[in-house]
Amino acid sequence: MADYPALAQTIRALTEGETDVVALMATLACEVHHADDRFDWTGFYRVVAPGLLKIGPYQGGHGCLVIPFERGVCGAAARTRAVQLVPDVEAFPGHIACSSSTRSELVLPVFDGRGAVIGVFDIDSDRPDAFTDEDARALAAILAETFAGV
């Protein structure tokens, strides 16, 4: 399990005063990816048009380039504005397999300071049932703090 208090402190120190969304996303993707060996792909999909996500900064193998809100776990997180904790991606209706090795997924909506969804933060694992409610809570808190000023 990631040491979330230490991770939050590191991210806070690295991003203090930064308001550029891409810089924040790149820093978070890198730091979170290296914080836990369960995390095989860690990155952002950005809202670029109504109902449309495009790949943003990430760590790991290639990601899908475009995801409509109507498709997949990332689309569901953006559309519903709710965390998607998926223990078995094969059981998720409409799952988009960007990587055939992915077994479980955690996707969190990312909000700007006004409460608008500006993207989603996607973490994939090659392990089944890799993520917990604690992961979701801790990462949601880190995202909220990091993106509050944008």
- Compute how many other C-beta atoms are within 10 angstroms of the C-beta atom of residue 97: 11
Structure tokens given for 60: 């790991």
Q: Span 4-147: which CATH code?
A: 3.30.450.40
Structure tokens given for 15: 């991003």
For the chain, what are the domain ranges? 4-147
Query: Looking at residue 70, what is its pLDDT?
Result: 95
Structure tokens given for 120: 């989603």
DSSP code of residue 90:
G
- How far is it, in rounded angstroms, from Cα 50 to Cα 65? 16
Query: Looking at residue 123, what is its pLDDT?
Result: 97
Query: Looking at residue 24, what is its pLDDT?
Result: 98
Query: Looking at residue 90, what is its pLDDT?
Result: 83
Average pLDDT per block of 10 residues along the chain, 150 residues long: 96 97 98 96 97 97 94 96 94 76 94 97 96 98 96
Instruction: Tell me the whole-structure pTM to 2 decimals.
Output: 0.95
Query: Looking at residue 23, what is its pLDDT?
Result: 98
